[in-house]
Amino acid sequence: MVRFIVRGVLAFCLVAATAGMGLAQDKRQNQPGQFDFYLLSLSWSPSYCAATAERSPERAPGMQCSTRAYSFIVHGLWPQYESGFPEYCQVPAPRLDHPTISGVLDLMPEPRLVFTEWDRHGTCTGLSAHAYFDTLRKARALVKIPPEYLNPQQPLSVTPAAVENAFHKANPDLALGDMAIACDDKRLTEVRLCLSKDLKFRACPEVVQHSCQREQVLMPAPHATATDAGRRNAGGSG
């Protein structure tokens, strides 16, 4: 009996400590509409598809990895605090209707991704679903993808600094302190760009300090990923 009481006290203390950490992070934690800036996350789709195929080779690829050859897609538009970020600000989240989902598939070519981003991040903006995805579209329209990353025909071996410099060159208003590169153990996964609430590029020191530190990373070629996924759907061998 004493053991169960002690366990219960420890569990309560852990929950209280976790809650305290959240409050220490930001007193507005998870209040819809209460945040400092946006982070626009652009995912290198071939890296996502390659990693998914490695983790679950028996699983049929989703729409993103089988319908066409995507390069950078929108992973999400994430509200951020200067330190930390809110998430899941409305549970359950307001439901998405079909026109909203289909209307954003050109930027986020996977319905599951649309649902996940709305539930976890969109609800924290304080915007309606229509307004959130409209803001996401406006944010994406601000960014020019460097021409060398639009549709490379071969895999690219790049340094994170080279990718940052390419984005800066294509977007002169985007400073190096306004973005970060994300990677896994071998591939570039995302380019993350910080934007003010009125959608101007802005500095984000905490985001930048978590940028990829690898000397070089791989960017798989879009056409190769899509072709391989199509073969798997058709039952062919790669």
Query: Is 60 a residue whose pLDDT tops 80?
Result: no
The answer to whether position 166 is within a domain reads yes
The answer to whether position 171 is within a domain reads yes
| Cβ partners under 8 Å of residue 89, min gap 6 | 30, 31, 32, 123, 124
Q: What is the pLDDT of residues 137-194, one digit of tens each?
A: 999 999 999 999 999 999 999 999 999 999 999 999 999 999 999 999 999 999 999 9
| Cβ partners under 8 Å of residue 99, min gap 6 | none
What is the residue range of 225's domain?
31-234
Q: What is the pLDDT of residues 200-234, one digit of tens each?
A: 999 999 999 999 999 999 999 996 544 444 444 43
Q: What is the pLDDT of residues 90-130, one digit of tens each?
A: 999 999 999 999 999 999 999 999 999 999 999 999 999 99
The answer to whether position 16 is within a domain reads no
The answer to whether position 19 is within a domain reads no
Tell me what pLDDT residue 224 has.
52
The answer to whether position 189 is within a domain reads yes
The answer to whether position 41 is within a domain reads yes
Tell me what pLDDT residue 99 has.
96
Overall domain count for the chain: 1
- Region 29-45: mean pLDDT is 96
Tell me what pLDDT residue 237 has.
29
| Cβ partners under 8 Å of residue 197, min gap 6 | 37, 38
Tell me what pLDDT residue 25 has.
58
The answer to whether position 54 is within a domain reads yes
Domain with residue 165: its CATH number is 3.90.730.10
Tell me what pLDDT residue 56 has.
80
The answer to whether position 8 is within a domain reads no
Structure token digits, residue 201? 């590029």
CA-only gyration radius of the chain, Å: 20
